[in-house]
Amino acid sequence: MPKRDVVSCSTIIAGYVQVGCFLVALDLFHKMLQTGPKPW
């Protein structure tokens, strides 16, 4: 993805949660906290 922002990351994480891939979603959230963008 050329431009990552909070909206795009949140959308991808929400998609994983909706299909039941909770650990993948949590891992992506953790990576977002480490590398950006910050959710706050």
pLDDT tens digits, one per residue of 7-20: 888 899 999 999 99
Q: Which domain holds residue 21?
A: 6-35
| Number of domains observed in the structure of the chain | 1
40 located within any domain: no
CA distances from 2 to 5, 8 (A): 10, 11
pLDDT of residue 29: 92
25 located within any domain: yes
30 located within any domain: yes
Q: Is the model more confident about 15 or about 5?
A: 15
* Segments in the chain forming alpha helices (H): 6-18, 22-35
21 located within any domain: yes
What would the mean pLDDT of 3-7 be, rounded to a whole number?
A: 83
17 located within any domain: yes
Residue given tokens 């949660």 in the structure block: 17
1 located within any domain: no
DSSP structure class, residue 27 = H
